[in-house]
Copies of this chain bind each other. A is one copy, B any other.
Amino acid sequence: MGIAGATGYTGVELLRLLARHPGARLSAAMGGPGAPPRSVAALKRVWDAPVDGLDLDILASQSEAVFLALPDHAAAEIAPPLVARGKRVFDLSGAFRLRDASLRKRWYPQTPEPSQPVVYGLTERNRDRLRDSTLVACAGCYPTAAILALQPLLEAKLLVTDGAPLIIDAKSGVSGAGKTPTERTHFSECHGSLSAYGVFNHRHAAEIEQELGARVTFVPHLLPIDRGILETIYATLQHGVDEAAIRATLHAAYDGSPFVRLTGSDLPEIKHVVHTNFCDIGWKLNADTRQLVMVVCIDNLVKGAAGQAVQNFNVAFGFDETAGLN
C-alpha cells in the first residue's frame, strides 16, 4: 500500500491506521505534489520513516493499492495514470464523486472524464461493487452521515420527497477544513463561537442529492471542536409511517454492518464516535405533525475520511471489514 498526501490531517490519520493494519504492509508514504520530505513528529514510533516527496513511479512500483489524501485538483491529475498502470486507487478527495458531468464541471472543474467506472466509496451502501473496483471515490464526510441515515428510509418510501426538500442541519469540527491556516479557522475566530457557511452553495449538497435522488437543503456549521460531525435531519413521514417502520427499516439495512450503531431515541453524541469508525444514528418522531428528526454522528477524519477509505480497502481486497479499524 502507498499513500500520497500523508501530511494533512486526513493523511496523518490514514498513515496511523495503515501503519498498524494487520493484513497489509504500508510501503510508501509521500506528501503532496511539490511538498518536501519531512518527518511527522506526532507519528514518531508509529511511522518512523520520513514522508517522502511525491514520486508517482516509486509509488506505483511499491504499491498495489494507493490511497490519495490530496487536494481535489491533485487527485484529479494523479488518479488516472495510477489506474492506467493497474493500481487500485482509493481517492479521499471529491474529484471523482459526482457522476453527472455538468455538476462535476461546476464543483470539480479539474477532474477529467473518468475512463473507467468509478465506485462511490460509501462502504455500507456499495460492498458488492467495491470488490471489483479500480477507482474508488471515497464518500465525503457530510454525505457519509446524511446518506447512511436517509437512504434506507427513502428506498423504502417512508418519507415525503415532493413539496419541501429534506433538511440537513450539519455541524462539523474544524479539522474538516484542512490543515492550511485561514482566517476562518484561526483559533480566536472559532473558539467560543459557531457560524454557518456555504448555505445553498456547498458541493456536498450535490453529492448527497446524487446518492439520495432527492432534493435537500443543506446548511453546514463550523463547530468549535477539532473533530466530529453531527447532523440533525428533518423530514416529513408518509401517512401511516410509525416508529416501528423506521426502526425495522434501519435495522434491516444495518444489522450486518459492524460500524453502524442504531441508538433509537437515545440520540447520539459526537463524544461517542470520535477516534472511531462508527456512524451512530438515532431518531425521534412526532406522530401529530408527522415530523421525523434524525441525529447522526461520525468522526469526520475516520468514518468521514481515512477510516472509511481503509474500510473500502478491506472490502475491495477481501480482508475482514474491520481490519485495522478497532
* A residues apposed to B, CB below 8 Å: 9, 20, 41-42, 44-46, 163-165, 167, 169, 171, 173-175, 179, 181-183, 185-197, 199-200, 215, 217, 219, 221, 223-228, 230, 232, 234, 236, 258-259, 261, 263, 266-272, 274-275, 278, 284-286, 289, 291, 293, 295, 326
Contacts and interface: CB of A to CB of B under 8 A. Distances in A.
A217 to B, nearest CB: 5
Contacts of A272: 41-42
B191 A225 contact: yes
Given A20-B326, A182-B181, A215-B289, A267 B226 contact: no
Nearest to A182: B181
B192 A225 contact: yes
Nearest to A235: B164
13 contacts: A41-B272, A163-B163, A164-B289, A174-B191, A181-B185, A181-B186, A188-B227, A191-B224, A192-B225, A193-B270, A194-B270, A195-B270, A221-B232
Contacts of A199: 267, 284, 293
Given A164-B163, A232-B219, A181 B179 contact: no
